[in-house]
Chain A
Amino acid sequence: MSLTGKDKLLFHGADWDFGAIQRVYDAIEDIAVGELGLDVYPNQIEVITAEQMLDAYASIGMPLFYKHWSFGKHFATHEASYRQGLMGLAYEIVINSNPCISYIMEENTATMQTLVIAHAAFGHNHFFKNNYLFKEWTDADGILDYLEFAKSYIVRCEERYGQNAVEKVLDAAHALMSHGVHRYPRKKRPDLRSEEKRERERQIHREQTFNDLWRTVPSKGGAPKAVISDERRRALLELPQENILYFLEKSAPRLQPWQREILRIVRQIAQYFYPQRQTKVMNEGCATYCHYRIMTRLHETGRISDGSFLEFLQSHTNVTRQPEYDDPHYGGINPYALGFGMMQDIERICTQPTAEDKDWFPDIAGCDDAMGVLRSIWANYRDESFISQYLSPHLMRQWRLFHLVDDPDRPELVIEAIHDERGYRRLRRSLSRHYDVGWSDPDIQVVDVDLAGDRRLILHHQVLNRTLLHKDDAQRVLQMIANLWGYDVVLKEVESSTGAIFHEHVAHPHETLF
Chain B
Amino acid sequence: MYIIDRRLNPGGKSLANRQRFLRRAKAQIQRAVRQTAGDRDITDLERGGEVSIPADGVREPSFRRSGEGGVNNHILPGNKRFIEGDTIDRPPGGGGGSSAGNNGEGEDDFRFALSREEFLDLFLEDLELPDLAKRRLATVEVQGMRRAGYSVTGSPINLALLRSMRNALSRRIAMRRPKPAELAKIEEDIALLEKEGESEKLTVLREELERLQNRTKQFPYIDPVDLRYRRFEPVSRPVAQAVMFCLMDVSGSMTEHMKDLAKRFYMLLYIFLTRRYKHVEIVFIRHTHEAKEVDEDTFFHSPETGGTVVSSALREMERIVTERYPPENWNIYAAQASDGDNSPNDGATSAALLRDVILPACQYYAYLEVGSDHDRMQAGFINHKTALWQTYEALLDDGANIAMRKVNHRREIYPVFRELFRRRDAEARAP
List A residues at the B interface (Cβ < 8 Å).
18, 21-22, 25, 29, 42-49, 51-52, 54-55, 58-59, 67-73, 75-77, 79-80, 83, 99, 103, 106, 121, 163, 167, 171, 174-179, 322-327, 333, 399-408, 411-420, 422-423, 427, 430-431, 433-434, 442, 444, 461, 464-474, 476-477, 480
Contact = CB atoms under 8 A, between A and B. Distances in A.
A417 B83 CA distance: 7
Interface stretch (B65-73, B220-228, B323-331, B408-416): B65-73
B88 A415 contact: yes
Contact of A79 (B70, B79, B88, B112): B112
Interface string B331-354: 000000000000000000000000
Contact of B3 (A45, A176, A433, A476): A45
B187 to A, nearest CB: 44
A108 to B, nearest CB: 13
B229 to A, nearest CB: 40
A400 B78 contact: yes
B84 A417 contact: yes
A179 B14 contact: no
Given A49-B11, A52-B9, A469-B64, A476 B59 contact: yes
A408 B3 contact: no
B63 interface: yes
Contacts of B87: 412-415
B20 A67 contact: yes
Contact of A468 (B7, B58, B66, B86): B66
A69 B57 CA distance: 12
B113 A76 contact: yes
Interface of B: 1-7, 9, 11-14, 16-24, 50, 58-80, 82-90, 95-97, 104, 110-113
Given A406-B71, A417-B84, A470 B104 contact: yes
Contacts of A327: 78
Considering the complex of A and B, which 10 residue pairs feature the smallest CB-CB distances, nearest first?
Answer: A324-B78, A72-B21, A406-B96, A72-B17, A76-B112, A325-B76, A69-B20, A467-B70, A476-B61, A412-B87
Contact of B84 (A423, A470, A471): A423
A58 B84 contact: no
Given A73-B21, A80-B111, A408-B96, A49 B7 contact: yes
A473 B77 contact: no
Given A400-B79, A406-B72, A415-B87, A71 B11 contact: no
A514 to B, nearest CB: 21
A504 to B, nearest CB: 15
A413 B96 contact: yes
A18 B3 CA distance: 8
A44 B104 CA distance: 38
A117 to B, nearest CB: 9
B22 to A, nearest CB: 7
Given A80-B50, A466-B70, A467-B66, A477 B61 contact: yes
Contacts of B75: 333, 401-404, 427, 430-431, 434
Contact of A473 (B63, B78, B83): B63
Contacts of A68: 17, 20
Contacts of B67: 467, 470
B298 to A, nearest CB: 39
Given A80-B112, A404-B76, A427-B75, A415 B65 contact: no
Nearest to B52: A80
Contacts of A403: 73-76
Contacts of B88: 404, 412-415
B252 to A, nearest CB: 48
Contacts, number: 256
Contacts of A430: 73, 75
15 contacts: A47-B7, A71-B21, A77-B112, A80-B112, A177-B62, A405-B73, A412-B87, A412-B88, A412-B89, A413-B87, A414-B87, A442-B64, A442-B65, A444-B63, A473-B104
Contacts of A54: 14
Contacts of B50: 80
A42 B1 contact: yes
Nearest to B88: A413
A52 B17 contact: no
A175 B79 CA distance: 39
A470 B66 contact: yes
Contacts of B21: 69-73, 75-76
Given A72-B20, A400-B77, A477 B63 contact: yes
Contacts of A414: 85-88
Contacts of A407: 71-72, 96
A408 B61 contact: no
Contacts of B9: 48, 52
Contacts of A322: 77
A36 B348 CA distance: 98
A473 B61 contact: yes
A470 B72 contact: no
B77 A324 contact: yes
A499 to B, nearest CB: 18
B62 A178 contact: yes
B186 to A, nearest CB: 46
A466 B85 contact: no
B425 to A, nearest CB: 22
A467 B23 CA distance: 36
A71 B63 contact: no
B11 A51 contact: yes
Given A174-B60, A402-B76, 19 more contacts: A18-B3, A45-B1, A52-B13, A55-B12, A59-B17, A67-B16, A69-B24, A72-B22, A75-B14, A401-B77, A402-B82, A412-B87, A413-B88, A414-B85, A414-B86, A430-B75, A431-B75, A466-B69, A474-B61
B14 A58 contact: yes
A47 B6 contact: yes
A494 to B, nearest CB: 14
B85 A469 contact: no
A71 to B, nearest CB: 4
Contacts of B70: 408, 464-467
Contacts of B86: 414-415
A468 B68 contact: yes
A76 B87 CA distance: 44
Contacts of B22: 72
A79 B17 CA distance: 13
Contacts of B95: 408
Given A55-B11, A414-B85, A43 B79 contact: no
A412 B90 contact: yes
A415 B73 contact: no
B60 A175 contact: yes
A471 B69 CA distance: 13
A399 B79 CA distance: 8
A61 to B, nearest CB: 13
Contacts of A472: 61, 104
B69 to A, nearest CB: 5
Given A44-B2, A400-B77, A473-B63, A75 B17 contact: yes
Nearest to B98: A406
Nearest to A179: B63
Contacts of A59: 13-14, 17
B74 A406 contact: yes
Given A72-B22, A327-B78, A405-B72, A44 B1 contact: yes
Between A43, A171, A415, A461, the greatest number of chain B beta carbons within 10 A of the residue's beta carbon is seen for A415
A413 B3 contact: no
Contact of A73 (B58, B66, B69, B96): B58
B113 to A, nearest CB: 5
Contacts of B16: 67, 72
A414 B111 CA distance: 39
Nearest to B111: A80
Contacts of A177: 62
A323 B76 CA distance: 10
Nearest to A26: B1
Nearest to B17: A72
A47 B5 contact: yes
